[in-house]
Structure 1
Amino acid sequence: MSDATPIADRTEVPASGSYRFTAADAFGNETEVILVPCEEDPGVRAWVNNCTHEDQRFDTGRGAAIRDGEIICPRHGSMFDACSGECDNGQASGTALPGVDIAVEDDTVLLTDEHYEYLHDGGVNDGDDGPGSTSHISF
């Protein structure tokens, strides 16, 4: 896969959590993506790190909450199947998470989605110290 970009080793995806990275979408917008464990081949799936019901990230830096193969939205408790992305309960019922195409070769997770370009590990604002101050007042 010549157009594939290595993201992480499959062992870096926690059994009950997520691995977060940032990619640029087709319009250049930075988008957080999570890798989550899945019992179906290849053993991991990639989803946009956001609930379909409301602007709520699943993984804010401590890993997404996953129980019994479902990703849990921390805001309203909607549960999404980690393998299919589908939700059949709560506020997000009847929706499915936007998927991101990946492949696994020799235990390396590769980004293969032509609509995304890998930027870096972690979230969009990780390492951002926030806006600088131009105030004349010092603290």
Structure 2
Amino acid sequence: MAPTRLTSVDEIPENGSYLFTVRESHGSKEEVILVKQPDCVEAWKNFCQHETDQRLDRGMGVAMREGEIICPKHGSMFDACSGDCDNGKAEGLSLVPVDISVNRGVVYLTDDACEFLHEGGIDADDDMPGSSSHLQF
């Protein structure tokens, strides 16, 4: 599958996320978040490893502090670049990665198991803009 252009690196909030929806190879829809830090741009499936029905980005951008994504339900913090958690109820777990690449400031979906559907969450109307809020603590 050819890479799909998602967005530019500049459009990803410094302390937040860019939310989009994919269809996985087995047919189900999944939300994915793009996050950036000074040394990385990463894509993660939009759920906490402690409770997989708990979204990290509820449509307003993820909460971040000092390079970590904060679960809004129980406060576990995941490193934005590695996806690893070393505290709280999700300690020892890692976020599920989605393959992307960055070329000349543009982010592409390169994960063969995921087909880009639209910006925003699963429940978002296809005509609505995606999430790019700047939720901060």
TM range (shorter): 0.7 to 0.9
Q: Which has the higher contact order (CA 8 A, sep 6+)?
A: 2
Deviations 1:102-125 (A, max 9, x none): 001121100001111100000000
Displacement after TM superposition at 1:28 (Å): 1.1
Partner residue, 1:117:
115
Moved over 2 A (4+): none
| Distance of 1:36 and 1:12 partners within structure 2 | 10
Deviations 1:37-85 (A, max 9, x none): 1332xx3100000000012101111100011000000000000000000
The answer on 1:95 being equivalent to 2:107 is: no
Map 1:52-71 onto structure 2 (within 5 A).
Answer: 52-54=49-51, 55-71=53-69
| Distance of 1:61 and 1:100 partners within structure 2 | 19
Aligned length: 125
Secondary structure of 1:11's partner?
Answer: helix
Q: Is the 8 A contact 1:39 1:83 kept in 2?
A: no
Give 1:35's aligned amino acid.
L
Give 1:33's aligned amino acid.
V
Question: Normalising by structure 2, what TM-score?
Answer: 0.88
Structure whose CA Rg is larger: 1
Partner residue, 1:39:
38
Q: Which runs of 5+ in 2 are unaligned?
A: 127-137
What percentage of aligned pairs have identical amino acids?
53
Secondary structure of 1:71's partner?
Answer: strand
CA RMSD, 1 decimal: 1.2
Q: Which runs of 5+ in 1 are unaligned?
A: 129-139
